[in-house]
Chains A and B, each alone.
Chain A
Amino acid sequence: MYDQARTVITGMIVAGILLIFLPIPLFFFFAGSLAYYIMALMCISTLFFIKKTGIYFGSTLCTLTVSYLVISYIIIKSGGVFSVHIATLYMLMMTGFWVNRRIGHCMIVVNIGALVWIYYSTEKQEVFSFHSDLISGKKYALLFHSCLTLFFGVFFSFVQKSYDKAKAQIRKKQLLEINSLNKLVKKRNQQLESMRQNIASDFHDETGNILAAINQQASILKIRLGNDHHLLPVLENITTSCESLYSSSKDFLWSINNDSDNPMVVFYHLIAFGQNFYNQFEISFSAKPLDKNYYHLLKIAPFASRNIILIFKEAMTNAAKHSGATKVTLKTILFNDYLRIVLQDNGTWKAIDPNSLHNGLQNMERRCKKSNFIFKRYTNNEGTCIEIYIPVSHTSPAPIINQ
């Protein structure tokens, strides 16, 4: 259908333009050539009609019918069955085959009918009197043009048929290829999925347990060494390293198991961290995500999630440990092409050890710079605010592809 409509429209445009210019020289010899402009007008109006209604089949048939009348008129006026304008009939039939084979077949019949009509409308009996009666006569002209019509008709029909067949075969091959590609993609996705699950369960069964074992063994040493020993700081370092490895592995596993390019998913992860973290303290923590409708509509740069998570883990830790806050809220606001994530607390960040704050803030700023986030930190009458602007792209929902 799409193919056909496209062919018709292209044909109409080209034919319309050619029909405006080509009859001009003919006009100097034969005034009736002006009638070709009716065909040009038909082509242009058909194009407008198709554009407005989308119906192309009926309008094409209408144009073809009018063309027959115009061409037959020109032929009859320019010498009937002997006219050179009869060539236009073959041209018209060819365009018919171009639209589709069935129309082409009809046009073989219509052409012969038109020839018969032209034959009876021809007043002259013969062209050249010096030829034999048989080949210069009206009857011979009719017979000749009917044979030529049949020849072109059958020829176009078969050429078109083999062309259609080849096209269908190519399409079939393409479909097969698409199917096999789809299957491959599906298989690959399944492999990826099982790989992800394997990584997660491997961590759970192996790495996680080993890490916990190291940590627990360090605990044993601490207990056995008692309080006052110069080895305690070393053990403390082992414990801290274990904990940070555990937490970064957890984030890594989270990112491979979740859609971490979706800022809403990242935000929920931050909420879960904040809730779990602030449950250890007497800190009232709550969060306000974007409306659920945005869930599938926003995307952040790949790998941006890691920095977002690390920045806010740092910020949330600072708020709890150094600012003396008792109330922390995390919220997200959509602002044009930026997603703002705001951490508001009711504490003061100034009152803490300047060295450790400096480091924390510097880390946050460095991470923001690396990911093209805008970093803001300010105090308001409620307390301290940490805010980052993350560039987001708006995605339309995935289109539904009909099989």
Chain B
Amino acid sequence: MQKKITIIEDNPYIRQGFKETLQSVERYLVINTYDNCEDAIANLDADLPDIVLMDIELPGMCGIEGTKIIRKKLPNTLILIITIFEDSEKVFKSLCAGASGYILKNSNFHMIINDIEEALAGGAPMSLSISRMVIESFQKQYDSPLSIREAEVLQYISEGKSYSKIADELFISKETVKTHTKNIYRKLEVASKEEAIRMANKYKWVKPRFELHD
């Protein structure tokens, strides 16, 4: 079955490039492309994408906000951020918002296809600086939600080890390492949601519906 893809990117040339690249592969069907989040979200029920490629800087709603909304509406849809740099704080925030990974805008055909395949296979990339932001973010919490294995993987990435090296040292496959990183991102998303609710409760931005246990 073909995977349905939606592209949200305001630069028409980049949008067209990604579209043609993906359409040239039989597995993928680019169901729609948008230059803003609002239109894409309005058409979400009609498009029902399996994968959303999302730019961060967009006119109107930004990609981070868009990611949150799409994750809520379609929890099983994979959202991949398309970005100039993999190391920015904004990429980290999108991952906190529920994105499963990122693709560099400057990627060639093979890199784009490869990144999407990996995301579909359940993996997610993590760079050294992103890993440090993740560690810092989890350090703020009282007890880490990460399993021992996930914490090890995170630690090794932050030390600069490649996936193969981590796989060798932990006696697991390279794919398993990437699955761990994906799970780390999921826990990060949950943690940042809880953090947001905790902050909102603390400053009485919303009426508390339930109590959080520390």
Contacts and interface: CB of A to CB of B under 8 A. Distances in A.
A98 interface: no
A246 B108 CA distance: 13
Interface residues of B, number: 34
Given A215-B17, A223-B20, A278-B162, A204 B128 contact: no
Interface in B81-128: 84-88, 105-106, 108-109, 125, 127-128
Given A209-B105, A219-B109, A242-B106, A275 B161 contact: yes
B161 A286 contact: yes
Interface stretch (B8-16, B145-153, B206-214): B8-16
B38 interface: no
B18 A271 contact: no
Interface stretch (B27-35, B65-73, B163-171, B191-199): B163-171
A140 interface: no
Interface string B20-48: 11001000000000000000000000000
B211 to A, nearest CB: 41
Contacts of B165: 284-286
Contact of A204 (B14, B16, B84, B86): B84
A213 B164 contact: no
A93 B168 CA distance: 86
B85 A250 contact: yes
B160 A271 contact: yes
Interface string A268-283: 1001101110110111
Contacts of A283: 162, 164
B21 A285 contact: no
Contacts of A276: 86, 127-128
B129 interface: yes
A209 B168 contact: no
B16 A216 contact: yes
B13 A216 contact: yes
A204 B85 contact: yes
B175 interface: no
Nearest to B131: A275
B164 A282 contact: yes
Contacts of A204: 57, 84-85, 88
B106 A212 contact: yes
A287 B127 CA distance: 15
Interface in A219-251: 219-220, 222-224, 239, 242-243, 246, 250
A307 to B, nearest CB: 21
Interface centre among A209, A216, A284 (most CB of B within 10 A): A216
B164 to A, nearest CB: 4
A223 B24 contact: yes
A86 B129 CA distance: 82
Contacts of B11: 209, 212-213
A212 B129 contact: no
B57 A213 contact: no
Contacts of A223: 20-21, 24, 109
A325 to B, nearest CB: 11
A217 B17 contact: yes
A246 B83 CA distance: 13
A213 B160 contact: no
Contacts of B87: 272
B106 A220 contact: no
Contacts of A281: 164
Interface centre among A211, A214, A271, A284 (most CB of B within 10 A): A284
Contacts of B125: 279
B127 A246 contact: no
Contacts of A291: none
A216 B17 contact: yes
A360 interface: no
B26 to A, nearest CB: 13
A326 B16 CA distance: 38
Nearest to A272: B128
B85 A275 contact: no
A224 B125 CA distance: 30
Contacts of B162: 274-275, 278-279, 283-286
A250 B14 CA distance: 19
23 contacts: A204-B84, A204-B88, A209-B11, A212-B84, A212-B106, A213-B13, A215-B108, A216-B105, A217-B13, A217-B17, A220-B17, A220-B20, A223-B21, A243-B108, A275-B157, A276-B128, A278-B162, A279-B125, A279-B162, A281-B164, A283-B162, A285-B161, A286-B162
Given A208-B85, A208-B106, A268-B160, 6 more contacts: A204-B88, A246-B106, A268-B128, A272-B127, A272-B160, A279-B163
